[in-house]
């Protein structure tokens, strides 16, 4: 009897849920598709893009698709960068051919992605990404899935170029270069925003951020990278929306952090992320340590680290993700280690335990790979060892694989008042000294032996006669 009642209740709940689902889907179906402005075509004489600036492999893809009877355009960041006179990092193609049709045209093609399927056409190390025009997405079906907050989880709805425009994020990223007549098609006044240096979202900003909260990070990144101003509507939507990022997988946020901080605009990006409350979602421990400090040392170290990173990239030098994260998370580690030492832990173990705890919390927000977290721990673990300058320990530390990065981190701390500058100067001199000079530098000073040379201890030789066997 009880089981029968339960089945009736369950069936009733299911019927109600299905009814609500049909009502919601019906309401969505009645919403008219978003409209875009009438397209404006900019002829070759009205823009600065030349075929000579475009990758030969991208041209091959465009011409081949058109030869097979499909539409094909360059779109997105490559068109934007070409108009700015910059060399694009990569070239993206959009077409009315679906991924399977693209694969039939190119034998060197691989289809990737679940959230939105893409075709990658491989030419050695260069990959040309080919996407199919996306539909307007007003109706949710098996090809498109949204969660309760409105974030797109899967999106394989195909459509026309007019619908595809609506699905792009910013107007300056929605310009289509047509290889057929070398024109640029503009449906959303992207060229005008481009000329005025305005970064404007296509559609209602709050809705677009809910669809994909990572767009908030992209807005900051593009504004800083391009030197554009955020449109007032975009600024207003950013304030108070940072919590939406908590729904994004930590692995994806790690990738976004690398794009934010490792491309030459780290310092400006850091300031802008904090302005809109986005930094505290990515690095909550760091934000708390910055807010709680009476002095400005933590912020000074971060600013100097980010500025040094930008300078290295400007000089054509490499920067590493682990060094950046070591700087971003150092203050939480230092504060935790100090507390542990006050509780009686020795310095080395205090820093080791603090590092483990901070990284364990951080990977919940930005899931860094294991080799990155191990490198960060090594940089931090070597910091207390720099205080030992006598005996054989300095020479052994010099041979550590992570010594160079750890010493650079020591210099960073010395420059911002986190450690005595004399210590960094000593290690700089020690590295440059020859072997004899290094030996002299690591001998105990007379202060530690009462002002007198330290006496050598000799083992007393045995004077007993050998025993006959």
* Residues catalogued as catalytic: 90, 92, 169
Query: How far is Cα 3 from Cα 301, in angstroms, rounded to an integer?
Result: 65
Minimal CA–CA distance to 49: which of 1, 10, 84, 101? 84
Number of H helices, E strands in the chain: 21, 12
Handedness of CA 64, 66, 67, 69 (dihedral sign): positive
With residue 127 as reference, give the H or E element that holds it. strand 126-132
For residue 41, list its beta bridge partners. 185
Residues shown for the chain: 469
For residue 323, list its beta bridge partners. none
- Which residue has 């068109």 as its token pair? 79
Minimal CA–CA distance to 34: which of 274, 208, 289? 208
Neighbours of 223 (CB within 10 A): 23
For every residue of 55-100, DSSP letters joined together read -HHHHHHHHHHHHTT--EEEETHHHHHHHTTPPPS--EEEESS-HH
Minimal CA–CA distance to 170: which of 244, 89, 80? 80
Residue 174, token pair as written in the block: 């929605």
Neighbours of 18 (CB within 10 A): 10
Contact between residue 174 and residue 75 where contact means Cβ atoms under 8 Å apart: yes
Query: How far is Cα 186 from Cα 183, in angstroms, rounded to an integer?
Result: 10
For every residue of 183-245, DSSP letters joined together read EEEESSSHHHHHHHTEE-BSS-HHHHHHH-THHHHHHHHHHHHHTPEEPHHHHHHHTT-GGGG
With residue 40 as reference, give the H or E element that holds it. strand 40-42
């Amino acid at each position: 009897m009880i089981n029968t009642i339960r089945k009736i209740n369950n069936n009733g709940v299911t019927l109600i849920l299905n009814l609500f689902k049909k009502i919601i889907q019906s309401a969505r179906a009645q919403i008219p598709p978003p409209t875009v402005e009438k397209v404006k075509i900019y002829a070759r004489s009205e823009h600065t893009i030349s075929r000579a600036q475009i990758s030969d492999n991208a041209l091959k893809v465009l011409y081949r698709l058109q030869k097979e009877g499909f539409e094909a355009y360059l779109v997105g960041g490559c068109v934007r960068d070409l108009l700015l006179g910059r060399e694009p990092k990569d070239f993206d193609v959009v077409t009315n051919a679906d991924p399977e049709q693209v694969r039939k045209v190119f034998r060197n093609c691989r289809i990737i992605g679940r959230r939105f399927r893409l075709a990658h056409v491989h030419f050695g190390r260069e990959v040309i990404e080919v996407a199919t025009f996306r539909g307007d997405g007003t109706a949710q079906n098996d090809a498109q899935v949204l969660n309760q907050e409105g974030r797109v989880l899967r999106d394989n709805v195909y459509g026309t170029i007019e619908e595809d425009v609506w699905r792009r994020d910013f107007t300056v990223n929605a310009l289509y270069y047509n290889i057929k007549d070398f024109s640029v098609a503009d449906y959303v006044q992207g060229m005008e925003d481009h000329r005025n240096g305005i970064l404007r979202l296509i559609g209602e900003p709050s809705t677009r951020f809910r669809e994909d909260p990572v767009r908030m990070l992209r807005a900051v990144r593009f504004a800083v990278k391009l030197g554009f101003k955020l449109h007032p509507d975009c600024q207003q939507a950013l304030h108070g929306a940072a919590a939406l990022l908590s729904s994004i997988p930590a692995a994806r946020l790690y990738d976004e952090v690398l794009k934010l901080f490792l491309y030459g605009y780290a310092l400006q990006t850091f300031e802008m992320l904090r302005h809109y409350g986005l930094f505290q979602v990515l690095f909550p421990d760091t934000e708390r340590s910055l807010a709680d400090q009476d002095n400005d040392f933590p912020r000074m170290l971060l600013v100097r680290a980010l500025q040094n990173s930008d300078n290295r990239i400007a000089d054509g030098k490499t920067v590493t993700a682990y060094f950046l994260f070591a700087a971003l998370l150092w203050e939480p580690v230092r504060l935790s280690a100090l507390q542990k030492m006050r509780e009686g832990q020795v310095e080395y173990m205090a820093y080791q335990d603090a590092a483990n705890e901070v990284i364990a919390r951080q990977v919940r927000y930005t899931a860094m790979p294991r080799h990155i977290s191990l490198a960060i721990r090594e940089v931090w673990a070597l910091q207390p060892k720099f205080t030992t300058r006598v005996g054989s320990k300095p020479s052994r530390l010099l041979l550590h694989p992570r010594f160079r990065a750890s010493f650079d981190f020591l210099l960073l701390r010395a420059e911002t008042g986190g450690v005595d500058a004399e210590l960094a100067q000593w290690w700089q001199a020690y590295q440059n000294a020859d072997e004899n000079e290094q030996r002299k530098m690591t001998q105990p000073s007379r202060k530690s032996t009462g002002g007198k040379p330290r006496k050598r201890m000799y083992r007393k030789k045995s004077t007993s006669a050998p025993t006959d066997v």
